[in-house]
Structures are given as C-alpha cells and as structure tokens.
Structure 1
Amino acid sequence: MSRMLARRLRHRPVRKAKPDNTEGQGHQALPFCFSNRTLSTGIMDIKRIPQATSPLAAWLSYLENLHSKTIDLGLERVSQVAARLDVLRPAPFVFTVAGTNGKGTTCRTLESILLAAGYRVGVYSSPHLVRYTERVRIQGEELAESEHTRSFAEIEAVRGDISLSYFEYGTLSALWLFKQAQLDVVILEVGLGGRLDATNMVDADVAVVTSIALDHTDWLGPDRESIGREKAGVFRGGKPAVVGEPDMPQSIAEVAQEKGAHLLRRDVDWDYDVNAQGWRFRDAQGELTNLPLPQVPQPNAATALAALRASKLTVSEQAIRDGIAGAILPGRFQIVSESPRLILDVAHNPHAAGYLASRLATLPKKGRVLAVIGMLHDKDIAGTLACLEPVVDSWYCAPLEGPRGATAEQLLEHLNSGRAWPDVAQAWQAAMADADANDTVLVCGSFHTVAHVMEAMDAGRTGGK
C-alpha cells in the first residue's frame, strides 16, 4: 500500500484547499517590507520576498503562494532544507505524536507534566485557532511574531530553489526556533498521516499514535488498516511506539515489526481505569493510583502518561499529578462560561463527535443543548451529525468560507430540523440569545467554527476594535 500511496500522491492533481495540512487559516496579501530579489518557483515568479523585519501577515501571504500544492506529502525536499539549517535534531529528546484525533491534548498533557518536572520544553502543533503563533510554544508560551519572521528569513536564506509548502515552512520554522532555544525536550504533533508528514524528518525517541478513525481518506487510504500504516510511519527502530487506540489495526503491529520498534499497546502493555474520585494507570513499571481527573479527554491523558513513562525521562509522581491537573487546550471541550453554559469543541469527524456526545451526556441535564455548527464539505458531515443529533435539541447551522466550506443548507440536509444563518458569528449570537440560563450552547464542527466564535467573543470584549 505504501508504494501505491506514494505513486498516487506524486500524480495527484493540485487540490484547492486552505494553505495548511488540515484546517489552517488563510491570510490576505500585504504589500510592504519586501526585498527586491526575484524568486522563480517554476510555477510563478514572486518578485517581493519578505525580510526578517516584515510583518508576520506578509510572510504568511508569501508562503501561501510559494508552492504549487497546498498539501504535498513527502520528505525529500523539506529534509534537504532541514539539513542546511542543522535542525534535524532540535533537542536531546523528541516525542512525535500522530493519530486521527487527540493529538493536541496528548501533546499538551506531555508538555504540562514535563514543565512541572522542570524540563525546558517546546511544542509544535497545528492547525491554529486564531493566531499563527499558537503553533509554537516554548516553556508553555507563544513567541512574538518577530521570532517567527526571523525564522522564516533564515529558511528563505538557505532553501535556494527548493520549493516548500506552507506546512513544511512552518515545520522548519518551529524546529529552528526550538534549536535556538536550547531545549531539553521537543514534542511534535503530526499534521497529516505520519509517514510522509514533514514532522517525520525528525527521528522520534518516543512515537505515539493516539487513535485511528476514518478521516483524510483521500490522502491516507480508504480504511483503518491503510490509515494505521501511514500513521505508524513515525515509529523508529529500537524506540518505544505507544498506541492509545484500543481497537488497534493490525497494520500498526506490522509496521512496528518491520521497523523493529518496541510496541506498547493500550489494554495490553498499559491500561487505566476511572472512578469518581480519580483514575489508576498501570504498565510494566508499576501502578499510579488516585491520579487527578484531567480536563482533557481521559484517553489522551492516559496515552500521554504511557508515552512519558516509556521515555524513561526522570519525572516525579508529583510532577505527573500537577501536570495532568493543569493540562488544558482551547477548543477541546472548553467550558467558557455558565448560565448558559458555553462549550467550544473542534470535533469534526464521527470519531471525535462520538466522544463529544459521550462527554455531553455526563454533564448534569438541566436544560436544552443548542448546537452551533459549521463544517468543511470534505468531512463526513452525515456521520458527524448523526453522532451528535441524539444529544442536541436545536441546530444553528452556518457556512464556512473558502472552497472547502460546506453551506448551511448542506448541513441541514442531514438534520431533521434546524435553522440556517449567514455566518458562524450570527449563528452563535442567535443561540446565545435563545438560550436560557440552564441551557448549553455547543460550538463544534471545525477548527474554523470555533475560531470564528473566539474572534466574535474577543470583538465583544474589545468593542469590535
């Protein structure tokens, strides 16, 4: 299957999508602070190249138009530039986290525990919600925009005639920033798949696959076995390979055996159980009991702990407890307010929507659930809505902009009832106005949907300035 996928990707026509590997944000061109050097990409001439002091928005606009494909899986081009930058080993220890869902919160839990243990930690994640700077965290903090533009200028200076996609450029930027910061540990969240994702040019000391479900099937294959094989491509010989998916595809075991990776499977090599007071984790090293219930999804917290213990990094039990308790990630079952309760969740496929529905079912049932939803048309809209419909009382459907955005009417085709709104912000405002104090307003369906509501909330706080 790997040869077939590689062949298919080489000959795939250009897809019109947002300039990111999954659901990234677009940016408008800003014509200032460019050099006069001309770059020929073989597809188009870009006569104005930003400088290190150019605004971040100018760089992002430039990157969106630099490469012929918005998604171009493969490691040859990006690895050449990484070698020139000397960033293929960004820190003494590297975690790489792949998976259909749960990557972000698994990375965040690892980060939180390691920071509590006193390590210097960097995290690369995507896509961002509101700001591009969300993609790189060092010591738990975003960096100034000027740090990102400085890194972009360094990449531009060494890449020569090698064309890079938006995501590849961003990955190199993160690695360069991590190398400059002299970190102890770097955590890389895979963008799409694993085997051919730009993050996989770095050799992981511990590789993680959080979950396997059907998503991005046009890129990764039509079934869980195909997807599992692609995601297991981040495994390395002689290194731990932690799998959080309880129903693990056989292809993952096959890849681990082919590579000589040390496979650590949930419910086989490690497991956990939960009660009202806390949870217990068990692996070959022993047992941890009465752990604090996490704010992130429980399976992802447990997977992070399995990866941490597989790493053999020195971490106290107190740091584990503090890190688990403190790990939170915006847009992942994020309870923003009460009366009415407002929950933001980026769930955008049936697997994530099913988990979201189960989380909603555990909340005390006091009133109605009003769902604000916008989705991309290349997602499984019918399957996602079917998972949520049993727990939602009223639907507020909104379109998403861009060629991948589904219309409100396309969403309503799969619902028994609901209303269409011109945009996400108006749908959210209507839901909040209709909600009683005991109701819950749920915003979900896409990173874009959650981002639009976050921006509307920020505008409300600042008076639209």
Structure 2
Amino acid sequence: MAVRSHKALPSNIDGWLSYIQTIHSRSIDLTLERVRRVAHCMKLAPAVPVMTVAGTNGKGSVVNLCQRVLSVHGLSVGSYTSPHLVHYNERICWNGQAVDNETLVDAFRAVETARKHIPLTYFEFGTLAAMHLFCQWQVEVILLEVGLGGRLDATNIWSADVSVITAIDHDHESWLGTTRRAIAREKAGILRYARPAVIGDPKPPTSLNDRVRQLRCQGLFIGVEFSGEVTPQGWDWHMPVASKGLSPRDISDLPKPTGWLEAHVRNAATALTALVQLEPITTISMKKVRQVLAQWSLPGRLQRVPGAVDQLFDVAHNPAAIRTLAQFLEKSPPSSKTHAVFALFGDKDLDQIIKILDSLIDHWYVGGLTGDRAVAPGVLAAAIGRIARGGISAHADPVMAYRAAIKDARPGERVVVFGSFQVVGAILPLVNGETRLPCGARAESPC
C-alpha cells in the first residue's frame, strides 16, 4: 500500500488509531523484516540499556515495577507496554506518564513518513512510534514488553541488555504452539548471547533452559539463583548467588501490597533481580524499593472497588491468570452471591477457564467484544452453559452486561469483571469517572 499524501493523513489521535489498523491486511503477521527495515530508515538504534520482558502472565507488572523503581532513583525511563486498558497513550510512557495526544500524533507521522510502501501491522507501527519517542526524549533506560511470543515480536529487533521471561502458560496457541515447551522456545527468542536472562517461571520448560545454555546467558532462575517468598510480615527476596560481580542479596520483610499472592511476589522478585543487572548505571536502594512497594498499584489487576456491592476488576484471560483470580476470590471475605461480567476472545481456553471458576460464580453476564477474534455473546453464553452450573445471560457488550449485573446485585454480594483488557477497560471509566454506581461504590487505590 502506498503512503498517503500529507494532506490526507489523519489530524487527530482517533483518526490515526483507525488508520494504522488499515495499513496491513492482517492484525497479526509475525515477522521482523518489515519493522526492521523501517527502524533502519528512522535510525532507531538506542545507545542506552534495554530491558525486554516476555512471558504469558506478569509482563506488565514487571515492567511497571521496574519503571517505578528506576524513576524513583532519578533515571529517565521510557516504557512500552501492551495492550492498553482505556487509552492507547498508556502504552508509551516517560517516567510513568502516558504520552500526550499531540506528541503521539507527531510520532505516528514520523513512522508514516519512513515506512513509505511497507505495510506495518498496528502493533509494529506503535512499537516504532514508541522507540522514536524514547530516542527523542533521550531516556536513560528503555523497558519493552513483548506483545506476542518474543522471537518474531516487533520489540525483538533491538537487542536486550537484560532479558526477562515471566511465567509461561498456554495462550495464543495458534501462533506460539500448543505446548509449554514450544511456547517457551518462542519466548526465548528475546535472549542474547552472554547477557543476563532472568527467568521468573518456577517450572521452566526444558526448551528455555536449553536456550539459556546454548547462548551462554547469565541465567538467573527463580527458585535457584533467586527467590521471592511470602511471609507473615510481607515477603522476602533472596539472591544468594552473586552474578557478574554483583553482591548477593538477602532482603526480608518487604512490603506486600494488598491482595498480592505468591504469583505477584514471584513477579516482584523477578523485577528486582532484573533491576540489579542494571546496577552499572545506578545502585538500587532498598529503602527506595520499599517506598515503591508500599505505594504500588496497577489498574485492572485484582482492583477492588468497595461498596455495598463489592466489585473486583481483573484482566485475567488465560487459565494461569484465572487460577490466580480464583485463589484471590477464595481468600477474600465471603459474599452471599458472585456475579461475573465476562467476555473472551475466541482463541482462549474457555472450557478450562469456566471449570476453574464454576464453583465461585452464581451468574454469568456475558458481553460481546470487537475485533477479528471476537465471539458473539450468544455463542459464548451457550458454550459457557454447557459447563457452568450458575445462571447465564447474554448482552450486546461488556458495559450492558455490567449494568445488568449491578442492577441485579444486592448488598453483601459482589461483581467480578474479567476476561480481557477490553472488558475491564470498557467498564473502569464508569467507576473512576463522574458516574456514580447504583451501589454507591467509589474506586479505591487498585492492587
């Protein structure tokens, strides 16, 4: 597709976001050739440390925690994550602040000018825009969250100084494979020869171990070279084995944000272990780490909104994340009834998700999503009905499903919103904005 003339280009952020979805015929087309060619034309070759984070669950949390710790140490940090929760701008941040519309539009224009006839996917276009801004801002550290897999992800055209791989589980099997071994092999594509590889999966597939050895990476595996353990006072982080001249770490009683479970502590331990690999550019102060942890929150991750009807928002959308959600619900104060506002893309393991939560959900309010992977709400509701024992109702979209759940819920009951970023992102603005919920709830600091 030929580039449009400057006069024909969109003038605002909404126009650009619509336009970049039309450039390539597919929403996902895993290859590095296109994005590498455009990056070369744009001279996007960062000369600062790059940390790339892959994995099935926990990537966004690791990037967020790393960004906050580095920023509080006075470093200029650019972070790129996906997908966004409410606004696209959330994907590209400078010291935790989302890019403004005008700056983002300028970055999109720069990518459009450089790509000429090269058809980029939505994600590739955004990734180049992010790196363009990081170079423009002259950040001191770049944090990249892999979008899909790792080996052929657009973020992988830049070599990571520190590679991080969080927990690995079944997801995106059409692109990554149907076994943990195959999925891990794709994610291991971000590793670089002789550089640190921080592995936060407690049971890493052999394909990941093999790749670490083949590349002679400085492998740091959770449960071996480092650990994160929940304690009555909080959690402990241990890194008893020194690496590349760094001293061992043995830190006790770190603050544990409300609602954190073992999976969250593993992610935090993984983040801290990755951060100390950057110590040539700064010395990590545990006093500042404690300050960050004491105030840490991330919207849409087990985010509770208290009220007469308790509400919980979580972006969990694969079996591993759903197990963590189920564990959280089981540990939470009991409620007389649980209403689930739910939607799921067609490439997810619906049957397994329903089986994990079936005993905890009394009624499913199913909404429809948009996009080429969307499933009609009636079809999704019928599939859930073949397994679930609770009631089920289908609604046109997540917002209508949510409103139905809130209308039906009584004091002492709870509403749980989950299934995808799109579900949570569509509903959270209703809670956090001017709209007061029927139950009178207002959002508290998320956890």
TM-score by length of 1: 0.86
Q: Deviations over 1:132-188 (max 9, x none)?
A: 111111111111111111011111222222221111010000001111111111110
Aligned to 1:11: none
Task: Give the Cα–Cα distance (whole angstroms) in 2 for the partners of residues 394 and 100 of structure 1.
Answer: 28
Aligned to 1:218: 174
Q: Deviations over 1:291-315 (max 9, x none)?
A: 0003562221121112112332411
Tell me, what secondary structure is at the counterpart of 1:308? Answer: helix
How far off is 1:421 after superposition?
3.1
Pick one of 245, 250, 256 that aligns with 1:293: 256
- The 5-angstrom pairing of residues 156-167 of structure 1 reads 156-167=112-123
Pick one of 440, 461, 464 that aligns with 2:414: 440
Pick one of 189, 200, 203 that aligns with 1:244: 200
Task: Give the Cα–Cα distance (whole angstroms) in 1 for the partners of residues 78 and 266 of structure 2.
Answer: 23
Pick one of 261, 267, 275 that aligns with 1:308: 275
Contact 1:397 1:418 in 2 (8 A): no
Contact 1:50 1:59 in 2 (8 A): no
Contact 2:24 2:120 in 1 (8 A): yes
Contact 1:100 1:210 in 2 (8 A): yes
Aligned to 2:343: 374
TM-score by length of 2: 0.89
Task: Give the Cα–Cα distance (whole angstroms) in 2 for the partners of residues 227 and 250 of structure 1.
Answer: 11
Which residue type is aligned with residue 226 of structure 1?
A: A
Contact 1:50 1:58 in 2 (8 A): no
The answer to whether the aligner puts 1:351 opposite 2:325 as a matched pair is no
How far off is 1:189 after superposition?
0.4
How far off is 1:236 after superposition?
0.9
Percent of counterpart pairs with the same letter?
Answer: 38
- The 5-angstrom pairing of residues 29-48 of structure 1 reads 40=2
Task: Give the Cα–Cα distance (whole angstroms) in 2 for the partners of residues 331 and 230 of structure 1.
Answer: 27
Q: Deviations over 1:382-423 (max 9, x none)?
A: 111111223223322222234422223333333123221323
Aligned to 2:331: 362
Task: Give the Cα–Cα distance (whole angstroms) in 1 for the partners of residues 385 and 93 of structure 2.
Answer: 38
Which residue type is aligned with residue 61 of structure 2?
A: T
Pick one of 374, 382, 401 that aligns with 1:409: 382
Alignment CA distance shift 1:62-1:234 (3 Å): same
How far off is 1:49 after superposition?
6.7
Aligned to 2:124: 168
Pick one of 124, 145, 164 that aligns with 1:208: 164
Which residue type is aligned with residue 390 of structure 1?
A: S
Aligned to 1:278: 234
- The 5-angstrom pairing of residues 38-187 of structure 1 reads 40=2, 51=9, 54-89=11-46, 92-187=48-143
How far off is 1:376 after superposition?
1.0
How far off is 1:277 after superposition?
1.5
Contact 2:361 2:390 in 1 (8 A): no
Contact 2:367 2:401 in 1 (8 A): yes
Q: Deviations over 1:236-290 (max 9, x none)?
A: 1121101111010010111112222111111011112112221111012120111
Structure 1 alignment gaps of length 5 or more: 1-38
Which residue type is aligned with residue 329 of structure 1?
A: L
Tell me, what secondary structure is at the counterpart of 1:95? Answer: strand
Tell me, what secondary structure is at the counterpart of 1:453? Answer: helix
- The 5-angstrom pairing of residues 245-260 of structure 1 reads 245-260=201-216
Structure 2 alignment gaps of length 5 or more: 242-247, 438-447
Pick one of 330, 344, 355 that aligns with 2:299: 330
How far off is 1:197 after superposition?
0.2
Contact 1:409 1:420 in 2 (8 A): no
Task: Give the Cα–Cα distance (whole angstroms) in 2 for the partners of residues 268 and 419 of structure 1.
Answer: 45
Which residue type is aligned with residue 382 of structure 2?
A: E
Task: Give the Cα–Cα distance (whole angstroms) in 1 for the partners of residues 8 and 433 of structure 2.
Answer: 29
Aligned to 1:18: none
How far off is 1:215 after superposition?
0.6
- Stretch moving more, 298-307 or 248-257: 298-307
Contact 1:96 1:190 in 2 (8 A): yes
